[in-house]
Structure formats: C-alpha cells, structure tokens
Amino acid sequence: MSTPQPPAAGTDRDPGSVRLHAYDSETQWLWGAAVSISSALGRSLQERPRARLLLSGGTTPAPVYTALSKAPLEWDRIDVALVDERWLMPDDHDSNAYLVRESLLQRNAAGARFETLTRAGRSIEEAVATANMHAQQPADVVVLGMGEDGHTASLFPRMRDLDRALASSTPYVAADASGCPGAGQWLRRISLTPAGLRPAHTRLLLIRGRKKRELLDRVLAGDDAHEFPARIAFTTPGAPLHVHWCP
C-alpha cells in the first residue's frame, strides 16, 4: 500500500466533521493557524464582551502562538487559559503556562488576561475546582495538540482513570499518567475532558511532520478514544475540528 500523500498546500478535505488544512511550509502553517485563531476570536468579540481561548503546550505550537501575539485584536477583552497542565508552577520552564507566557503573552497580546491552572499554595483538587469554575464560561477557541502516542490534552492511552476522565461531567479533571511513556516525567496533570471541549465554538488541532500525518490517518479511521484519546477532538459532539498540518 502506498503512503498517503498530504493534499497540496492550503487544500481542505472534509471527512465528516474534520477539515484538514495542509501546508507546504512551516511559515504557511504558522500563519494559517494563527489567522484562523485570530479570526475566530475576532468573530467572538463582535458578539460578546469577552472571548475565551484555551491553549495546549508541547513542542509544536509555540511558533503559532508567537504569530498570534501580533494579531490586531482587543486582547484586553480576551481570557487565555490552558487545555492542560503538568503539575508544575507557572514559572517552571517546563510548564505549559511558561510556554504560553513566553510565546503568546507578548507584543499585542501582552494585555490578555491569563488564567494559569496551577498556583503556589493550591492543591491539585483546588486547582481543578477553580478550573471548573472558570470553565462555566465556554471556550470560544480550543487549540489541541497530539502526541506520537495519540494523546491529546493530558489524556493518555491506557492512563489510569482514563474512563473516568472521558466520561466526566466536569470540564477539567486531575490526571495520573503513571505508566504512560508519552507523559514524560510529568505524571501528575490537570486535563480538559470531552465535557470541557464540547461547548467550544472553534476547535483546532496543530500537528507537524510525516509521522503525525500518518498517525492522524489512524486516529481518524476509528472512534475508540481509549486507543487514541486524540479521537475526542472529533468524536465529541460540537464544532468541526480544523487540523492544521505541515511537514
């Protein structure tokens, strides 16, 4: 069987509720994704006093966040929060909060209001309760990533309590990723759940590289989120999923 070829730059494919935006270069990808996020936020701000943006960490999205920080939006009307977090304080360089601060909350976006998931002196239970309180305001835009094991947010294949997280009625849960190699050294985490993703108006998945493109095909070929938790990105009812990919 031949390797599936990605569509040409900028072409869109629509297998149901998933739209693939495939670009030839990193530059096209980061601007394509940044413009999509910024347009969605701009539309929300026309309709509501404030907009809410949920962001993932990982090694992929920083260039998109840097491009987005230059968008001419009314950033003081935008609340930025996290899809997930390792159980690290926001000033830890390995935290997702640190990544978002360094890449997005600069330039025009410096005036956005930022909600970290962790805070000194707060237990993980208190942090989850606070996240669930803030999430009463549904997200306008959710930016997801996908690990090479098919995880998204901090929902890992074979994670203890994955069932509970997938079935949770609350938008955030505490996660124990012991025994999940994809979690690296950060085993205690806080994660968005399908219940938290469901009300979002716009969903994006940012991925790069041939391996993730091939993984995406496998992920899209089924619907069991236990095998690949990233499937919640398109199996959770609600907005279509926009996948932005480049080699």
Ligand X SMILES: O=C(O)[C@H](O)[C@@H](O)[C@H](O)[C@H](O)COP(=O)(O)O
Decide whether 152 or 202 has the Cβ nearer to ligand X: 152
CB 142, min distance to ligand X, A: 11
- CA dist., res. 42 & res. 87, Å (int): 32
Name, in order, each residue with C-beta under 8 angstroms of 178's C-beta and a sequence gap of 6 or more. 160, 187
- CA dist., res. 128 & res. 163, Å (int): 18
Decide whether 71 or 146 has the Cβ nearer to ligand X: 146
CB 24, min distance to ligand X, A: 20
**Token pair belonging to 21:** 């935006």
CB 163, min distance to ligand X, A: 19
- CA dist., res. 120 & res. 99, Å (int): 18
The region that residue 94 occupies, defined by phi over 0 for left and psi between -120 and 50 for alpha, beta otherwise, is alpha
Binding site for ligand X (CB under 6 A): 56-60, 83-84, 86, 96, 145-147, 152-153
Decide whether 59 or 185 has the Cβ nearer to ligand X: 59
E strand or H helix at 232? helix 232-235
Decide whether 32 or 58 has the Cβ nearer to ligand X: 58
CB 67, min distance to ligand X, A: 16
